[in-house]
Amino acid sequence: MSSKQRLVLSIIDFLNQSIQDGTVKQDDKESLEVAIQCIGEAFGVDPSDQEQVNRLSVKPANLLSIFDVFLKTKDKLAAPGGASASASTSTPTGPSAADKAAAEKLKAAGNAHMSAKKYDDAIKSYTEAIALDPTNAVYYSNRAAAYSSKGEHSSAVFDAEKAIEADSSFVKAYHRLGHAHYSLGDYKAAASAFRRGLEIDPSNASLKTGLQNAEARIVPDDDTFDDMPPLDPAPARGATSGAGAGAGGMAGMAEMLRNMGMGGGAGGAGGAGGAGGMPDLASLMSNPMMMQMAQQMMQNGGIERLMQNPALANMMNRMQSGGGMPDMSELMSDPTLRDLASQFGAGGGAGR
């Protein structure tokens, strides 16, 4: 605040001097005095406080003389050759030889601290080396290793990226980056880092091992099978929603039997409650052998193949359209359905 107060005091001095030397018209004097008072109060500057004035004063210079120097300097820079000279002097230069030498000593000290497992001291040394020579990728990479040794893998990721930014051909930085991501559980990012390093050094054994370990831990995205209900076979092309959609596992088989008319009233001991003397759904589903047979069909894909049978799809469409149940001769004319019927018979007999 003191530098701003010095400027404010210089402005107040300039305005008071303008009132005294007649620069300001008499009609404007009162307004200017009010402005001086408001400016002083706003910035906490009191021209009547001699102690404060002595502390903030820029005398023997004043605001007008300072501004005059600024204008002369500006004009000089605008002259031919002045701008180029200024640009050349303001161009940033790299670290000096002395800075690089000092940075190397700090790096060596950091390496010694790493060997002694003094990771905080190592980080401090590498940080000081970076301050002297921020263009050296090794310093960032070594500090990344120190952070990883402390378990601060997020900081290690940042430093490894900075090392790559400083020198994209520095292979060790990719290994540091991959290791940090791997330690954070981001195996995809780890694998990506190892691959980037292998593009530069395809024979690097450490990068190859890191890539193998990362890829082994990568699991498919959770949304890969979002649209696939468990144990739900894909519906057959051309089959209606009543024939194939949602017919998965035991529920799909039960729905198929119900649509075929096997879910009628409970039959007697012979199971004759369904159409054409075929067993009803309750007796089928309560028969242990039938349940075992159905489970085997689900495991070996029999249910899926059955749902894809064109003859069955046509029968289902016809029944849904009010065409009635197919007779036994029509069922037996299809080899797949005939084989299924024989399995039903075997299952029903074994369950008696």
Tell me if the pTM is above 0.85.
no
Task: Check residue 62 and give its pLDDT.
Answer: 76
Q: pLDDT tens digits, residue range 141-168?
A: 999 999 999 999 999 999 999 999 999 9
Side-chain-side CA neighbours of residue 89 (13 Å): 6
pLDDT for residue 306: 65
Most distant CA pair in the chain, distance: 128
Q: What is the per-residue pLDDT across 16-67, written as a single tens digit (0 to 9) for each? A: 888 888 887 888 888 888 888 898 888 888 888 888 888 778 776 777 777 7
- Say what the pLDDT of residue 231 is: 46
Q: Which two tokens stand for residue 352?
A: 């008696």
Q: Which of 200, 190, 215, 145 is nearest to 170 (CA)?
A: 200
The angle at the Cα of 317, spanning 239 to 314, to the nearest 5 degrees, equals 70
Alpha helices of 271-334 — where are they, by DSSP H? 281-286, 288-299, 302-307, 310-320, 328-332
3-state secondary structure of 251: helix
pLDDT of residue 299: 67
Instruction: Determine contact, residues 12/47, Cβ cutoff 8 Å.
Output: yes
**Distance between CA atoms of residues 149 and 127, nearest Å:** 16
What are the b/e assignments for 73-95, b being 16+ CB within 10 Å? eeeeeeeeeeeeeeeeeeeeeeb
Token representation of residue 246: 């949602």
pLDDT tens-digit readout, 312-331: 667 666 666 666 566 666 66
Which residues of the chain fall below pLDDT 50? 85-87, 222-249, 260-279, 345-352
Residues making up the chain, counted from first to last: 352
Question: Quick check: 163 and 140 in contact, CB under 8 A?
Answer: yes
